[in-house]
Amino acid sequence: MIPVEYFFILSGLLFFIGVFGFVTRRNLVAMLISVELVLNSVDINFAAFNRLLFPGGYEGMFFTLFSIGVSAAESAVALAIIINVYRHFHSDQVNSIENMKL
C-alpha cells in the first residue's frame, strides 16, 4: 500500500520542475515540453486521488483520459504554430516573436 502523500509529493516535484523549465527555457519547443511535464504531474494527481481515496468512482480516471486527449490536441496545434513562427521569423526563440507586442 503506497501512502497517497507520496504521489502528491512526486506530482508536486514534477509540477515545479516543469515550471522551472518553462521559465528558464528560451526555445519554444522546449517550453512546450515543460508544459507536458506539468500536465503529466496533474494527471498523476487525478489518478492517485481516484484510486487511493475514492476507489468506487471513475472520475479521476476519465479526467486523466480526457486530459491526455486535450494535451495531444494542444501540442499538435502548438507545434503547428511553432513551425509557422519558425518559418516566418527563422527563429524558434521565444523573444523572436516579441515584436507582436506594441
At closest approach, how far in Å is the CB of 6 from other proteins?
Answer: 6
CA 71 – CA 65 distance, rounded (Å): 10
Is residue 42 a contact residue for other proteins (CB under 8 A)?
no
Site for other proteins in 45-84 (CB under 8 A): 47-48, 51-55, 57-58, 61-62, 64-66, 68-77, 79-84
Burial 6-32 (b: 16+ CB within 10 A, else e): ebeeebeebbeebeebbeebeebeebb
Q: How many residues bind other proteins (CB under 8 A)?
A: 79
Contacts of residue 89, Cβ cutoff 8 Å, sequence gap at least 6: 96, 97
At closest approach, how far in Å is the CB of 93 from other proteins?
Answer: 7
Where do the H-state alpha helices sit in 1-102? 4-24, 28-48, 59-89
The binding track of 5-24 with respect to other proteins, each residue x by CB under 8 A or -, is xxxxxx-xxxxxxxxxxxxx
